[in-house]
Amino acid sequence: MSSLKEKLAQQIPGLREEIKALVKEYGDRVISEVTVKQAYGGMRGVKGMVCDTSVVEPDKGLIIRGIPILELTEKLPEEILFLLLTGDLPTEEELKSLQQDLSSRAEVPGYVWDVLAAMPKDSHPMAMLDTGILVMQRESVFAARYSEMAKTEYWDAALEDALNILGRITGLAAGVYRMRYEKGSRIPPEPSLDWGANYVHMLGLEETDETYSMMRLYLVLHSDHEGGNVSANTCHTVGSALSDAYYAVSAGLNGLAGPLHGLANQECLGFVLKVIERFGGVPTEKQLTDMCWELLNSGQVIPGYGHAVLRVVDPRFTAFHNFGKKHCADDDTFKTVDLLFQVAPKVLKEHGKAKNPWPNVDAGSGALLYHYGLKEFPYYTVLFSVSRAMGMLSQLIINRALGTAITRPKSVSTAWIKQQVGA
């Protein structure tokens, strides 16, 4: 038994008892209410699900298992996965065990490449990634064991599926990149490298300590963002029907292909590059200020500024910004991102209509990817997906362990709402 599985096996009985006792004693206690505005507005702010892997506090940002994300920026993605699942950072021995486990599962089945090769040459890389994951559903341990295992064993089978997906997803994603953008033949994984560094290796990017560090940071910062975002919520809903991890994760990642969830960083980078093109390089502070006002006065937004939940600078932006200042401060793309950070909040505050004038993670992430050689914008969502799979799968395993019920909120009609409010 691996160190991770052993630790979960020790923790899960206590977690089950804790939840059982909580529901028994406080099951009828009201913790939220919903307004008409929320019912029509995507249920934003309605407290109706539980996620213990991470929370997003409006005044603090992302907190993973009680640890603010800025305290985790030097950690490896594998350490974050262990933390998401168990609530503890791994010991050196536990980390090594997890890395070996993931590495042993790295081979993507040959039939996956056959399917992807049969897709149209101009297929979106996200469609290729999701197809690759979904077509591997035949490998599901959960599906194979479902009819014969007890409910208390569901988490174990789900963990096996999760580790298989995570072991293969970097190789799959890298293969999609090289196939879709004609970068040459696939590059085999290098077992001596950690998860993030190996991804860089298989992508075929320049293999430097800086590039490795950038990729590790990216994978850490996008790993989880509580349970209500589109990708995590979709994965949870599909998984609650006891669909296996391949079905659930593929469904969740499809949400990341939407412009309102997963495409923001490429839109932000596109804006930064347009600024540079318009001014023939990094603009002056006045030029950028005037351009921001021009955007707002025409009814547009400043890409990367504002967040549905946060009311402070997104700490994930801070992490990327700090990395950029250290490693690529002279890059025109980063310099423009930095100048925008100085200019945009002032303009938005003076404009007065933005609830949050501060940058979110997408305002800075694309500039770093671009600097280190990933210049194919449609692929950025695939990178996001590789990282977010850690959070979605962690939540799925925990929900299997706790026996979380199938998701089934009650819907009402517009006529019912009118009747209730007397309209």
Q: So which residues are the catalytic ones?
A: 261, 307, 362
- As a whole number of angstroms, the distance between CA 68 and CA 58 comes to 13
**305 has which bridge partners?**
359
- As a whole number of angstroms, the distance between CA 241 and CA 191 comes to 36
**Going along 218-293, which residue ranges are E strands?**
none
Instruction: Return the CA Rg of the chain.
Output: 22
Structure tokens at 111: 């039939």
- As a whole number of angstroms, the distance between CA 38 and CA 51 comes to 20
For residue 363, the number of C-alpha atoms closer than 13 Å in the C-beta half-sphere is 29
Return all residues near 1 (Cβ < 8 A) that are at least 6 apart.
9
Sheet of strand 61-64, all strands in order from the earlier edge strand to the far edge: 54-57, 61-64, 67-68
CB-CB contact of 123 with 99 (8 Å): no
- As a whole number of angstroms, the distance between CA 9 and CA 281 comes to 56
**Tokens 């979605």 appear where?**
392
Q: Mapping DSSP to helix (H, G, I), strand (E, B) and coil, where does residue 300 land?
A: coil
| Cα-based distances in Å from 376 to 183, 373, 380 | 12, 9, 7
Element (H, E) at 63: strand 61-64
